[in-house]
Chains A and B, each alone.
Chain A
Amino acid sequence: MSIVAGIRGYAEVNDEIKAEFLSKAKVTVTDVNGQRYLGNALDGGKTLEIYGTAGNDLAFCLNGGRVVIHGHGQDAVGNTMGGGEIIIHGHAGDALGYGMRDGQIYVRDNVCCRGGIHMKEFRSMKPVLVIGTNAGSFLGEYMAGGTIVLLGLNLKRGEKLFGTHCASGMHGGKIFVRGSFPRENLSPNIKAVSLNDDDRKELDSYIRKYCRCFDADYDEIMKKTFMKLIPETSRPYANLYTAD
């Protein structure tokens, strides 16, 4: 039995979801129309399936759970996510994966501005953000760790892989980009380098998972070359200040 969200408020829908999770490991919500905070702080071992368009702050503080959206996500999907998995069968809005520390987000299509902003890693926690089509401006802003993969699938003529100010303030982590990318949109501190064996191994697992999730053609994806975007220095602002 699934929960029908319809045009009800988020508080009511989320209360129902949380009540269901007390006795179940998997809950399905249908006819979702922008209700916010679905799957917030969802613990490990639990799966939330969403049909429709999930509202802002989907899976806020996700705590190891799995959230699958058959539809689109809006702004701040996976905000401050601490672990788990988000699969979006569609596109996502601004500030995707804001401050995410662990877990994985797979977006079939594109994302808007500031995807992966403040992504960070800690010990064994290494967040991963895989985007099928392209990303808006400020992708990976202030990025301090983790991995972003940008596949550039189904780009239309004139569409770029990422918008302006890509990786502005980035001081850790890496962004894998497939095929040609707008070099002029990279921020000053960022350089593009070839992949090493470890990179290729790591990337391969993400691409295989993307293909499994969205039924994409692995061989087709691998036809194009990947490059890795990393910061020139991990301390871009080291000489900004002088003690008075």
Chain B
Amino acid sequence: MPVNYIPRRFSVIRDKDLCINCGCCVRQCSNECHCFAGDGKTVLSRSDECVACHRCVDLCPTGALRIEKYVCDYRENANWTPQYQQQICRQAETGGVLLSGMGTPKPYPVYWDKILLNASQVTNPSIDPLREPMEIRTILGRKPEKLTVEKKGKSTVDMPPQVILETPIMFSAMSFGSISLNAQKSLAMAAKELGTLFNVGEGGLHPELEPFTDRAIVQVASGRFGVHSDYLNNSRFVEIKIGQGAKPGIGGHLPGEKVSVEVSDARMIPEGSDAISPAPHHDIYSIEDLRQLIWAIKQATGNKKPVSVKIAAVHNVAAIVSGCARAGADIVAIDGFRGGTGAAPERIRDNVGIPIELALAAADQRLRDEGIRSRISLVAAGSFRCSADIVKAIALGADACYCASAPLIAMGCHMCRTCNTGKCNWGIATQRPELTKRLNPDIMYKRVVNLINAWNHEIKEIMGGMGINSVDSLRGNRLMLRGIGLNEKELEILGIKHAGE
């Protein structure tokens, strides 16, 4: 037997007193951690392939299962941690680039947790959102330099196309291929009910999602999968994908084994063929070239669709956002490095890019300094865990936020970070029919709607506490923010004062 140099990660603990040997866990685990013993009746567990997705735990009718971290100590070493040793063994065996799913798990600073919000006391009244109107409607799109009105008060300005959202929260790009059609459909249905948008990612639009095109953001990525003139015209807006926070400078690669008949229909490529979207668009080598593609899309859609440019948050993000604005983008989405992904080379995910908080603050400030902030809407992305994160992002200058991991968690995701294996037991990041059918869009969309409605209400509560009754008054309102435990430079970049100041 070959030596396995890597101990298992988890132990599946089965309480024999509670287990009724019903076999539910055997049927549920695509990693084959549970099986029947030779007698065909007794259920046993093997922990080797367990990823701690909790599917068996959550579905066990008697609560007999528990997942534990498998502890196997190495000799203590703060530098050569077990993780690095294990990864070296894995690469020594396969010669492969380490691949993982979801956002980086590394303990980088989360600035949301180092920013505190303000509330009114005495000097101006706070507002109770249960009693008084509270506006969180968000309008995205290029705003005109100035308004002119005729005598009766009607605007005489040619208004660029605008997108009205009933919440500042949108669902970020996740392609059909990276997630299942049922997961995408759940997001589409939720977006429709919530009056917001979902983003089809770079994998084209599946015919079954056509009823939701007025709620769809469609992406144009370097591989141009599924992009054609009807795809552009049947959308709420078009997004040029330049980069993704989880893997800046790296493209997308959907391996052939995930390109099922259905996925091939949406991407418009043959079944089983690799779908490669390299990092560069080969018609974009400069801001001038970006302008060319933006206006090509505007021409092909009769100037009726706003065009968004999605970039990863990298070192010179502020200058790049300014360039995008000048190139004619109506919306710029900045994706921070904690953002999720269906698959990313781990070294890229864990080491490249910068946090969304700093990128957003820097970009917003740069646009204001240059007097072009109103030319674009800024959308922030890259890990929003709760409504307070979103309020802080808006106060730092975001017009709206892209969320993806949170709605996936609402649908069952347990952040086991093995999306790339295509064996998602929750039917989200998989194309296997026996797994995708576990996710019922009619039930799951409701959970996503509940989540966003709850966040919407929390946002209103927080705004009310500040004495603000419209999200427009919160936007870029950094006086509502104070840093806690941040150094001078961090405060300067975030453009906020320290708590107590």
Using a CB–CB cutoff of 8 Å, the interface residues on chain A facing chain B are: 10-11, 14, 36-37, 40-41, 56-57, 60-61, 63, 75-76, 79-80, 82, 94-95, 98-99, 101, 114, 117-118, 120-123, 125, 141-142, 144-145, 169, 171-172, 234-235, 237-244
**Interface residue range, chain B:** 35 or more
Evaluate contact between B270 and A122: CB separation under 8 angstroms.
Answer: yes
Known contacts A235-B274, A237-B274; A244 and B300 CB within 8 A of each other: no
* CB-defined contacts of B99 to chain A, threshold 8 Å: 241-244
Partner of A144, one of B91, B93, B269, B292: B269
Contact of A242 among B90, B227, B273 (CB under 8 A): B90
Chain A CB within 8 A of B458 CB: no
A41-B229 CB under 8 A given contacts A234-B273, A242-B91, A244-B98:
yes
Q: List 4 tightest A-B contacts by C-beta distance, closest first.
A: A242-B96, A99-B224, A82-B228, A242-B94
Task: Note all chain A residues with C-beta closer than 8 A to B300.
Answer: 37, 40-41, 60-61
Task: Report A-chain residues with C-beta under 8 Å of the C-beta of B224.
Answer: 80, 98-99, 118
A61 touches B346 (CB 8 A): no
Chain A interface: which of B119-127, B275-283, B447-455? B275-283
Interface residue from A57, A80, A121, A144 paired with B227 (Cβ < 8 Å): A80
List B residues 99-121 near A (Cβ within 8 Å). Answer: 99-100
Q: How far is the CA of A101 from the CA of B231 in the complex (A)?
A: 14
Q: Enumerate chain A residues within 8 angstroms of B90, measured Cβ to Cβ.
A: 242, 244
Instruction: Return chain B residues, CB-CB under 8 Å to A11.
Output: 299
**Which B residues, 273 to 316, have Cβ-Cβ distances below 8 Å to chain A?**
273-274, 276, 278, 282-283, 292-293, 295-296, 299-300
| B-side contacts of A79, CB under 8 Å | 283, 296
Contact bitstring B20-49, A, C-beta under 8 A = 1, else 0: 000000000000000000000000000000
User: How would you classify the secondary structure of chain A's contact residues: helix, strand, loop or mixed?
Assistant: loop
The smallest C-beta distance from B170 to any residue of chain A, in angstroms, reads 25
User: In the docked arrangement, what's the CA distance between A101 and B268, Å?
Assistant: 8
Interface members, chain B 315-364 (any A CB < 8 Å) = 343, 345-346
| Contact A240:B97 (CB < 8 A) given known A76-B283, A122-B269, A169-B276 | yes
Cβ B98 vs Cβ A242 within 8 A: yes
Residue from A41, A57, A80, A237 in contact with B276 in the complex, judged by beta carbons closer than 8 Å: A237
Q: A60-B300, A237-B274, A241-B97 are in contact. Are A99 and B268 (CB under 8 A)?
A: no
Q: Which of B225-273 contact A (CB under 8 A)?
A: 227-230, 232, 253, 255-256, 264, 268-270, 273
Residue B81 lies at the interface, judged by CB distance under 8 Å to chain A: no
B477 within 8 A of A: no
The answer to whether B282 and A95 have CB atoms under 8 Å apart is yes
Measured CA separation A144–B292 after assembly (Å) = 25
Flag if A61 contacts B283 (CB, 8 Å): no
Q: How far is the CA of A169 from the CA of B222 in the complex (A)?
A: 14
Binding site for A on B (CB under 8 A): 87, 90-91, 93-100, 220, 222-224, 227-230, 232, 253, 255-256, 264, 268-270, 273-274, 276, 278, 282-283, 292-293, 295-296, 299-300, 343, 345-346, 418, 420-421
- How far apart are B154's CB and chain A's nearest CB, in angstroms? 25
Which residues in A have their C-beta under 8 angstroms from that of B270? Answer: 121-123, 145, 172
Question: Are A244 and B87 touching (Cβ within 8 A)?
Answer: yes
CB<8 Å pairs between A and B, sample of 17? A41-B299, A60-B296, A76-B292, A79-B283, A95-B283, A118-B282, A122-B270, A142-B223, A171-B276, A172-B270, A234-B274, A235-B256, A238-B274, A239-B95, A240-B96, A243-B99, A243-B420
The residues of B that contact A61 with a CB separation of less than 8 Å are 227-229, 232, 296, 300
Task: State how many angstroms separate the Cβ of A19 from the closest Cβ of chain B.
Answer: 12
The answer to whether A239 touches B295, judged by C-beta atoms less than 8 angstroms apart, is no
On whether the beta carbons of A98 and B96 are closer than 8 Å, the reply is: no
Chain A residues positioned under 8 Å from B94 (CB to CB) = 239, 242
Which A residues lie within 8 Å of B276 (CB)? 142, 144, 169, 171, 237
- Tell me the minimal C-beta distance from B488 to chain A in angstroms: 38
A234 to chain B, nearest CB (A): 6
Closest CB-CB distance, B107 to chain A, in whole Å? 17
Cα-based distance from A76 to B292 in the complex (angstroms): 10
* Min distance, Cβ B33 to any Cβ of chain A, angstroms: 16
Are the C-beta atoms of B292 and A56 separated by less than 8 Å? yes
List, in ascending order, chain B residues with CB within 8 A of A237's CB: 253, 274, 276
- Contacts beyond the supplied A41-B300, A61-B300: 15 A-B pairs with Cβ under 8 Å: A10-B299, A36-B292, A37-B296, A75-B283, A80-B228, A95-B282, A114-B282, A141-B282, A144-B273, A169-B276, A169-B278, A237-B274, A242-B95, A242-B96, A242-B97
B223 touches A99 (CB 8 A): yes
Bound complex: CA of A158 vs CA of B66, how far in Å? 72
Tell me which residues across on chain B come within 8 A of A144, comparing CB atoms: 269, 273-274, 276
Complex: how many Å from CA A40 to CA B93? 51
Question: Whole-angstrom distance between the alpha carbons of A237 and B274 in the complex?
Answer: 9
The answer for the CA separation of A117 and B283 in the assembled complex, in Å, is: 10
A57→B282 contact, CB < 8 A: no
Cβ contacts under 8 Å, B228 to chain A = 61, 63, 80, 82, 101
Nearest-Cβ distance from residue B496 to partner chain A, whole angstroms: 36
* Residue of B87, B230, B300 with highest tally of chain A CB at under 10 A: B300
Minimum CB–CB distance for B72 against chain A, Å: 18
Q: What residues of chain B lie closer than 8 Å to A117, measured between beta carbons?
A: 282
Assess whether B282 is in contact with A243, with CB atoms less than 8 Å apart.
Answer: no
Q: Which of A80, A114, A145 contacts B269 (CB 8 A)?
A: A145
